[in-house]
Structure 1
Amino acid sequence: MKIVIGSRRSKLALTQTGLIADELRALGHDIEVVEIVTEGDTNRAPLTQLGGTGVFATAIRNALRNNEIDLTVHSLKDLPTAPAPGLTIAAIPPREDARDALIARDGLTLGELSPGAVVGGSPRRAAQLAALGLGLVTREVRGNIDRRIDYVRHGELDGIVLARAGLSRVGRLDEITETIDPLQMLPAPGQGALALEIRADDTALYDVVRGLDDADTRAAVTAERAVLSRLEAGCSAPLGALAEISEDLDGSLEISLRAFVGRTDGTFDLRRSQTGPFDHPEQLGHDVAELLLADGALEAFTSDGQAPEPTPGGLLPRDADPVTVQHPQRRGA
């Protein structure tokens, strides 16, 4: 089968696309990769100003709907959580390490950086760094991996926090000065996972791509993103979540889910966790979100501690370009 894959032009996006292209070629398919420029690639404004996650997906999704490409490989954490009309996530392959990682000057760890040191990272990372009480100053930065690391190499930042998975995929693990324990910093929902998106009516390609799906990864990220969905928060929100699959005492699979919301200035932070059955990851995510809401989670999204006015269809403004993650099936089913 001839399969045209659309990809963003960044080194990381092309690397991730290349990994999937190689797997499909190994199955005997003819693969072509087409580069697509998105607003998130050309506009250097903070994501909070651009409107969140959709800036990375819209152009590629339009190419899918217009039959210009057949498949695209997203970083799952960059995708909104509600359905994208006419499209479906056909597979979520096995996840890379979901943790965040620090690259700091002089090989320093978070605990070794002096109070007042400037560390780059997203609002989610800034909120959790503030909650650690280390006296670090955070700055939101954007750009590809090379550009963000260069801020440290050129002395503009004392450190930068990035997804370890991305560093692994582009071969820069040796520059990490500390892989951050999730007890200190929970990753973005879906971090480290890829999402393979196709047109919903392309049943032939669905049958091909579905073989790359990993049930454990799909269950974990479904739970994480259900927290995000229930709180109606985008990728620019100070929210982290991590789900892990394990076996209980009778051998049944279960999901342990932890989540965090906080303010970037450190004046509010909240963590909650819960365990639930493997077959109901979305319900588990909603349950953890309800725990957060009951204990004041909406304060994290305001500057004055007052909950925002409800918006039509949700608690916070909804991103205009959403997608859903389908329910997983139990391994071996």
Structure 2
Amino acid sequence: MTTLRLGTRRSRLATTQSQWVADQLEAAGHEVELVEITTEGDVSAQALTAIGGTGVFASAIRHALLDGRIDVAVHSLKDLPTAPEPGLTIAAVPVREDSRDVLVARDGLTLGELPQGSVVGTGSPRRAAQLAALGLGLEIRPIRGNVDTRIGFVTEGLLDAVVLARAGLSRLGRLGDATEVIDPIQVLPAPGQGALAVECRSDRADVLDAVASLDDADTRVAVTAERALLRALEAGCTAPVGALAEVVEGDDGLELSLRAFAGSDDGTIELRRSLVGPYTEPEALGARLAQILLDDGAADIEGTTTTATSRSEHVS
């Protein structure tokens, strides 16, 4: 095969993730060239909910795949809309980083130690809703920017804390900035958080074969369940959504445990539900848990009023 052209966003986190994938492919004997692509999400200063949600980070790269400018794309999986993209295939989902969120706070504080009235920044409706539901008296402020920018809001004294994805800090070598890893019992991550998606054209058998070795079965099963839940909720629920699936040992072998959150923006309503199902049926498990949430009132929650895909968020 000729050199694989791997498309990536230009942010430091995106190029770090893409370089990791490139290193794995090169170790398998392939030549790889990184191709940087600017997306609407990179150049706009507006909130993600105002410019179309998660898809703004993926659309330009997907267009480059479809028109043949690149052979492979690397996405943060939670940046991808749940609807399949015609002509494209998620050919590999590599082993997942830790999916949890982290707090970066002044003076080394944890969530429980932040005084009432502390200002916490996040660009995620999901995080904002769950933080509000904790009843800690925090003021949640919407923010944009990459990891360095967001941490800078704290170090410069503009905010008391920010909440970020642990996976992003880990990939950038900045875990030392985190003052607390937040337990999913308090704040469930976004569906697919911590996982990467390696995407290519469905008609490129050579590329599909080249990247197949990067796929991790347990990670793919888990994120399939999470994204199936989100996809099922998108038709009838505008509330922020969190989800986490984990492979567990059952009486008869491997099973999949799925937890989910849907709640109001102000934290006054929160639904937390869980379900265990067969390892081999992740989509059915996600759909079943979504229906439980809808039956229990998720469809009646006044959550975000923007498009469904805006309920996920970018990690950088």
Please indicate, yes or no, whether the TM-score normalized by the shorter chain is above 0.5. Answer: yes
Give yes or no for contact 1:256–1:276 (8 Å, CA) kept in 2: yes
Aligned to 1:253: 254
Give yes or no for contact 1:232–1:318 (8 Å, CA) kept in 2: yes
Aligned to 1:208: 210
Q: CA RMSD in A?
A: 1.7
Give yes or no for contact 2:89–2:200 (8 Å, CA) kept in 1: yes
CA distance in 2, matches of 1:276, 1:38: 38
CA distance in 2, matches of 1:190, 1:272: 18
Aligned to 2:278: 277
CA distance in 1, matches of 2:223, 2:302: 22
1:158-195 Cα shifts (integer Å, max 9, x gaps): 00000000000000001110000000000000000000
**Aligned-partner residue type, residue 155 of structure 1:** G
Aligned length, in residue pairs: 307
| Distance of aligned partners of 1:36 and 1:242 in 2 relative to their CA distance in 1, 3 Å threshold | same
Gaps of 5+ in 1: 309-315, 321-333
CA distance in 2, matches of 1:78, 1:127: 19
CA distance in 1, matches of 2:74, 2:299: 32
CA distance in 2, matches of 1:9, 1:165: 18
- Residue correspondence of structure 1 range 37-48 to structure 2 within 5 A: 37-48=38-49
Give yes or no for contact 2:239–2:264 (8 Å, CA) kept in 1: no
Aligned to 2:101: 100
- Residue correspondence of structure 1 range 14-33 to structure 2 within 5 A: 14-33=15-34
CA distance in 2, matches of 1:66, 1:228: 29
Q: Confirm whether residue 265 of structure 1 aligns to residue 269 of structure 2.
A: no
**Aligned-partner residue type, residue 196 of structure 2:** L
Give yes or no for contact 1:189–1:240 (8 Å, CA) kept in 2: yes
**Aligned-partner residue type, residue 46 of structure 2:** A
1:123-164 Cα shifts (integer Å, max 9, x gaps): 100100011100001012111110111111111110000000
**Aligned-partner residue type, residue 32 of structure 2:** I
Q: Which residue of 174, 177, 180 corresponds with 2:176?
A: 174
Q: Confirm whether residue 11 of structure 1 aligns to residue 12 of structure 2.
A: yes
- Residue correspondence of structure 1 range 104-183 to structure 2 within 5 A: 104-121=105-122, 122-183=124-185
**Aligned-partner residue type, residue 227 of structure 2:** R
Q: Confirm whether residue 240 of structure 1 aligns to residue 242 of structure 2.
A: yes
CA distance in 1, matches of 2:11, 2:307: 28
Give yes or no for contact 2:239–2:298 (8 Å, CA) kept in 1: no
Give yes or no for contact 1:164–1:179 (8 Å, CA) kept in 2: yes
CA distance in 2, matches of 1:237, 1:22: 39
CA distance in 1, matches of 2:54, 2:291: 23
Aligned to 2:313: none
Q: Confirm whether residue 80 of structure 1 aligns to residue 76 of structure 2.
A: no
Aligned-residue identity in percent: 62
Give yes or no for contact 2:265–2:303 (8 Å, CA) kept in 1: no
CA distance in 2, matches of 1:227, 1:115: 34
**Aligned-partner residue type, residue 256 of structure 2:** I
Give the CA deviation at 1:300.
3.1
CA distance in 1, matches of 2:307, 2:145: 25
Give the CA deviation at 1:264.
1.9
CA distance in 1, matches of 2:302, 2:214: 37
Give yes or no for contact 2:242–2:262 (8 Å, CA) kept in 1: yes
Give yes or no for contact 1:92–1:218 (8 Å, CA) kept in 2: yes
Give the CA deviation at 1:302.
4.2
Give the CA deviation at 1:301.
4.1
The normalised TM-score by structure 1 is: 0.89
Give yes or no for contact 2:191–2:226 (8 Å, CA) kept in 1: yes
